[in-house]
Amino acid sequence: MNLFEQKRCKAMAEEIAQKVFINHELFNAFCQVPREIFSPLKAHAYRLDALPLANSQWISSPLTVAKMTMALDFKNADSVLEVGCGSGYQAAILSRVIRRVFTIERIEKLAKSASETFRTLGFSNINVRFDDGQLGWPNYAPYDRILFSAYATSIPEILLDQLADGGILVAPIFHNEKQYITKITKNGLKLKKEILDECLFVPILDGKE
């Protein structure tokens, strides 16, 4: 990043920190990832708004990215699986705070674009897969953390099976006509569910395109 981009990233991180709690590690992550490279709307990239992408997809608001990431309790996590890569911004933020990131995207155009962006940035710890994210990525399971970047009505059992014991899954879940950031902690056969905050995501869809 050049000096101008660094200043814009830091200013955005400071604005996020004024509105929601983020720890030092996540603050630094926002400072290290130039949001404009993930958005076609360069002039608006550092506003705290969701922005449109191709294929009726969106890049989440930085505030939502902050809330979702903090909900993961990522400090002791070594691996994370993201369902719904989109432009790759959430995965890029995760890659600054978790050692190994595995992200799945069902739209081939977006998966290829995100991979190229990660290479441009030199973010070598992000692995991208073009597939139906609801199937997970069994090859590298179990994952310490799983994050959904699209809303679901329920969590597929196959993904819960890929979550490590003691692991945390964070997803926007549709309930009573609204979406809520929901944190699920796995302890053996038991799942502890916490509803954290209202949110707005595109729905998770079946198959690939």
The torsion angle over the Cα atoms of residues 143, 76, 26 and 58, rounded to 10 degrees, is: 10
The torsion angle over the Cα atoms of residues 6, 123, 105 and 127, rounded to 10 degrees, is: -160
- Residue 60 annotated as catalytic: yes
Place of tokens 């959904």: 148
CA distance 205 to 209: 10
CA distance 82 to 185: 16
- pLDDT, residue 209, reads 80
Name residues of the chain where pLDDT drops below 50: none
- pLDDT, residue 208, reads 83
Residue from 39, 60, 87, 113 carrying the catalytic annotation: 60
Place of tokens 């995207």: 105
Q: State in Å, rounded, how far the first CA of the chain is from the last one.
A: 33
- pLDDT, residue 55, reads 66
In the 8-state DSSP scheme, what is residue 149?
S
Place of tokens 């719904």: 84
Q: What percent of the chain has pLDDT over 70?
A: 99
Helix (H) or strand (E) holding 26, with range, is: helix 24-32
